[in-house]
Amino acid sequence: MVMEQILPEEIVYQRPESLVEVSTHYCPGCTHGVAHRLIAEVIDEMGIRDRMIGVASVGCSVFAYNYFDFDWVQAPHGRAPAMATGIKRVLPDRFVVTYQGDGDMASIGMAEVVHAAARGENITVFFINNANYGMTGGQMAPTTLPGQRTTSSPGGRDVETAGYPIRAAELLATLEGASYVVRRSLHDPKNIRLAKKAIRTALEVQAQGMGFSMVELLSICPTNWGMTPVDSLHWLEEHMVPYYPLGDYKVAPMVAQIRI
């Protein structure tokens, strides 16, 4: 007699514990959510949730603190790396991370991030580059591509008057104090996995006191780009990746020794 065998199940994936059980305010398909999830997964895996202090920025990620189940503070626009510095200097054994968009970090907060990196501040910056100011309704950002239409560059970004987009990872990588500066993208499963690995490495850099780490994540903004989420991923791959090549821009020799 052949009995139908009921095979036991295992959970392959479930929502990380470091995420709060609430729905986010992000638009459908927004990859802020992917970035949040990856960070939360890494924190769970490293078992460091109890020692985390997040610094939220201004922009769509202003409410990041609502979604991660650990302590947070909320910085003025662009000043997250300065606030993180203040926290880290008082509590050097905590994990201090900032979560900043491109307007926040690469425009109004450029001085703060550059000097935090130059000081080799032992903090981690997660930098979400979606090529526009999402929260205020899709204006031109320092990362908006040449010719890209936004609500404040309706004819497309004119480099004659508005200049060129800033490649933040390349810029920060020139600083001696920066130990780990990489760019990843969130447009497909393979790149998402690579992004997660970079987030892990960045937090390991901080765990080992190796100094400043920054992970730039190319991200989509379907609502302001005026595309479906799936089309947005394609647009990112076709237009953003060529201008913002993915890769490791600064990996200090001691960081290269880290094995995860």
Binding mask 168-187 for another protein (x = CB under 8 A): --------------------
**Does residue 129 belong to the site contacting another protein (CB under 8 A)?**
no
Instruction: Kindly state the smallest distance separating residue 56's Cβ from another protein, in Å.
Output: 8
Single out the segment in contact with another protein by CB under 8 A; choices: 89-97, 158-166, 169-177, 239-247: 89-97
Task: Tell me the pairing of strands 178-185 and 71-74.
Answer: unpaired
User: What does the block give as tokens for 182?
Assistant: 């990489």
DSSP single-letter state for residue 5 = P
**Does residue 14 belong to the site contacting another protein (CB under 8 A)?**
yes
- Give the separation between CA 151 and CA 7, rounded to whole angstroms: 55
> For residues 68 and 36, is the Cβ–Cβ distance under 8 A?
yes
- Is the CA virtual torsion 136, 137, 140, 141 positive or negative? positive
Show contacts with another protein in window 213-232 (CB under 8 A): 222, 228-230
Rounded to the nearest 5 degrees, what angle is found at the Cα of 122, between the Cα atoms of 124 and 30?
A: 5
Residue closer to another protein (CB basis): 132 or 219 = 219
**Does residue 125 belong to the site contacting another protein (CB under 8 A)?**
no
Q: Which of 128, 172, 202, 233 binds another protein (CB under 8 A)?
A: 233
**Does residue 17 belong to the site contacting another protein (CB under 8 A)?**
no
**Does residue 111 belong to the site contacting another protein (CB under 8 A)?**
yes
Q: Which of 11, 154, 161, 259 binds another protein (CB under 8 A)?
A: 11
> For residues 114 and 175, is the Cβ–Cβ distance under 8 A?
yes
**Does residue 253 belong to the site contacting another protein (CB under 8 A)?**
no
3-state class (DSSP) for residue 124: strand
The footprint of another protein on this chain (CB under 8 A) covers a number of residues equal to 70
DSSP single-letter state for residue 69 = S
**Does residue 246 belong to the site contacting another protein (CB under 8 A)?**
no
Closest alpha carbon to 139 in 107, 186, 103: 103
Give residue 238's identity as a one-letter amino acid code: E
Q: Which of 39, 43, 56, 198 binds another protein (CB under 8 A)?
A: 56
**Does residue 119 belong to the site contacting another protein (CB under 8 A)?**
yes
